[in-house]
Structure 1
Amino acid sequence: MKKEVKDTVIAELGEKLKAYPHFYLVDVTGLNAGATSDLRRKCFKSQIKMVVVKNNLLHKAFEASDIDYSPLYDSLVGNTAILFTETANVPGKMLKEYKKAGIPALKSAYAEESFFVGADQLEQLANIKSKNELIADVVALLQSPAKNVISALQSNAGGKIHGLLQSLEERG
């Protein structure tokens, strides 16, 4: 590969590192063409950008970045694919499906501004709540007290303050 091509690849990887807040490094050693195509289709459906990279070029892209990716350097061995995503837990959930086969296997990840090194981190990555899931949890928590007041008003209290307070106390 010519130096100009390498420089272009490093620059493109650097742009993707800036564009996507989360990425996973995955070992794709042993995947045949059919399995690789299947993985790419699943990534596309899940809005994950999959790029198979040369470890040396990715290492140089990491070094050129503003973020210190040094905890991930030891993961750059063997055949590596990088999965770029907007939602931190989506690749983790997808990789859990492949866990029994062992290919592709998680090497490491950068998600929620944290480093996850090793295949044993897959469960933790899959359980990270997405922004939308967190918003739904907060909305549910905020709605809970209002639902208690409304249901207490609609109960046998007859709309009186004393009955409302008594109903809330019984639930509380």
Structure 2
Amino acid sequence: MPNERNQQNLSALRDTLKAVETFYVVDYQGLTAGQLSKLRQDIRDKGGQMIVAKNTLIHLALEGQQGDFSDILAGPSAIVLADQDPAGIAKALSDTAKGNDKGIPTMKGGIVEGNRVDVAVIERLASLGSKESLQAELVGVLSSHLSNFVGLLEAYQAKLSEGGAPEAAAQE
């Protein structure tokens, strides 16, 4: 019979996972306490959270909501919640892995905006900039196009006012 503490942890984990659309499952084994602490801080700075739980609890929590993750739940696992900035948190995980000899944490898979993804998709997300930098790029591109459009309109307006004045004089 399951103990009360595990039932409470399972309930809390299910509630947490219901509230987010994006999370990653990672293997963190091999990180020193300092590296793990820094990784948790980097994730928190990006608006995420790292939850270490037993694979059985993770499997049960995901079973009814997000599908079957039993294929990737081997060895120590942690769930990294990334609802605010999925690319930024994927980058923080990737940077930490590149920053040590063992390549840890190792990404196993996850859910991005409600869709299950594999490691390749998470790595592509990590290569993108943060959500804010991507939004800033989009605003820059849109503003340059709008600026060009306004310039064209002003040029046509000037052309029309130059060409329209003689016609008005001829009608009088």
Shared fold by TM > 0.5?
yes
| 2:73 is the alignment partner of 1:76 | yes
Q: Secondary structure at the match of 2:52?
A: strand
The ranges of structure 1 where at least 4 consecutive aligned residues each deviate by more than 6 angstroms after the TM superposition are none
Larger radius of gyration: 2
Code of the residue aligned with 2:70 in structure 1: it is Y
| Unaligned runs of at least 5 residues, structure 1 | 164-172
Structure 2 residue aligned with 1:105 = 106
CA deviations on 1:79-98 (whole Å, 9 max, x unpaired) are: 11111122221221112212
CA deviations on 1:79-132 (whole Å, 9 max, x unpaired) are: 1111112222122111221232311111111002221223x4332222388498
Question: 1:63/1:150 Cα in 2 relative to 1: closer, same or farther (>3 Å)?
Answer: closer
Code of the residue aligned with 1:105 in structure 2: it is T
**TM-score scaled by structure 1?**
0.76
* Contact 1:47–1:85, Cα closer than 8 Å, also in 2: yes
The number of aligned residues is 158
* Contact 1:92–1:123, Cα closer than 8 Å, also in 2: yes
Code of the residue aligned with 2:76 in structure 1: it is N
* Contact 2:50–2:79, Cα closer than 8 Å, also in 1: yes
* Contact 1:22–1:84, Cα closer than 8 Å, also in 2: yes
Structure 2 residue aligned with 1:152 = 152
Question: 1:128/1:24 Cα in 2 relative to 1: closer, same or farther (>3 Å)?
Answer: farther
Question: 1:158/1:149 Cα in 2 relative to 1: closer, same or farther (>3 Å)?
Answer: same
Q: CA RMSD in A?
A: 3.2
Give, in whole Å, the separation in 2 of the partners of 1:41 and 1:29: 17
Code of the residue aligned with 2:158 in structure 1: it is G
Code of the residue aligned with 2:53 in structure 1: it is V
Give, in whole Å, the separation in 2 of the partners of 1:51 and 1:149: 49
- Taking the TM superposition and a 5 Å limit, the aligned residue runs for 1:22-171 are 22-65=22-65, 67=66, 69-70=67-68, 72-86=69-83, 87-100=85-98, 101=100, 102-118=103-119, 120-126=120-126, 127=128, 130=131, 133=134, 137=138, 140-141=141-142, 143=143, 146-152=146-152, 159-161=158-160
Code of the residue aligned with 1:111 in structure 2: it is V
| Unaligned runs of at least 5 residues, structure 2 | 163-172
Question: 1:139/1:35 Cα in 2 relative to 1: closer, same or farther (>3 Å)?
Answer: closer
Identity %: 29
Code of the residue aligned with 1:59 in structure 2: it is H
* Contact 2:39–2:93, Cα closer than 8 Å, also in 1: no
